[in-house]
Amino acid sequence: MDVISVIRTKRDRGRLTDEQIDWVIDAYTRGEVADEQMSALAMAILLNGMDRAEIARWTAAMIASGERMEFSSLPRPTADKHSTGGVGDKITLPLAPLVAACGAAVPQLSGRGLGHTGGTLDKLESIPGWRALLSNDEMMGVLRDVGAVICAAGDGLAPADKKLYALRDVTGTVEAIPLIASSIMSKKIAEGTGSLVLDVKVGSGAFMKTVADARELATTMVGLGTDHGVRTVALLTDMSTPLGLTAGNALEVRESVEVLAGGGPADVVELTLALAREMLDAAGLPDADPAKALRDGTAMDHWRRMISAQGGDPDAPLPVARERHVVTAPATGVLTGLDAYAVGVAAWRLGAGRSRKEDPVQAGAGVELHAKPGDQVTAGRPLLTLHTDTPERFDYALQALDGAVTVAPAGTPFTPRPIVLERIG
């Protein structure tokens, strides 16, 4: 077996055999296949796809590359959630402690940013002292004490995916449905959670631009989970405009705390509650009331305990970028469009994301929104504020926002797109 023949098979629109898949995943994990060779194979998969059996085998090989966890010793049912990535998608931050406050255990293994989309771990690392890397024993301890943990997958859990995940981020292959599905599901199945809710984003700021593509990805992942004994459902949710009023790291943490305090943007609250209800139902707790847990402060209590248990200080001031630039509304009227992808790229260019897998991110960088589609705006008044520590990035970020804003004449009817578009389960 050699990697060149595997690349050529997929380059020429062939079907990879089980033996080819098993070998290339194992060889890449061991370092026998170089990054540039796996990059070529990933691009071939992006361009030519995989059938259901290939995806299933690729996923199984990723799982087999490492250990598997299990949570049968916990006194609570387990439920997990995964988002395919969006702009301003801070939902995991309030969701995990909220579901824990309602009686489930949430072992949330999260990742770094991919391209223009923000990473949950990058956001949380803006909290002074907070640690993403926990041993399995530490993870179990936080789950027993708090009921929720958000951390990085350990080196032993699907190590093939850890290498490939970082490679996809910097080689333009993030959007490949087989690689997205196998990446997500290999970690979630190896993680050992009893149930899983998938938040599959649709729109300009998502990797899946159309409902049809999102449905294909969701159906593939639900099938993979079900085949491995994990109760799995998926929601297709809108990502044509950013979620909430911030896209960045510390900016989104601040907004998440507002949600846990009973406030926050309406769209973030709506999606958080919708996913919480799905997770609780999948975990066998359909009568739990997540809205009550937000109102009475129990979700906030679980957040503070979770952050503290991972070394963070929930009372510490969050980082603030040294420089700001205000973008004003180009006209007076109704804001009818604010492109999520453009905002995500702008935040990325301001320092909230990375261009190479070894790049650091700026905790305070990002974009703050002062209006959402449907709002009235006034020419010359603030529409967006850009945040960064490196002001030379402003021009590059502003280029990304060119054409991102649409303002219609005052009185123009506007019907917002629903947050939840479809359920697959």
Q: List the catalytic residues.
A: 82, 161, 168, 183, 187
Residue 306 and residue 126 in contact, taking contact as beta carbons nearer than 8 Å: no
- Which residues in 69-89 are b (16+ Cβ under 10 Å) and which e? bebeebebbbbbbbbbbbbbb
The type of residue at 214 is A
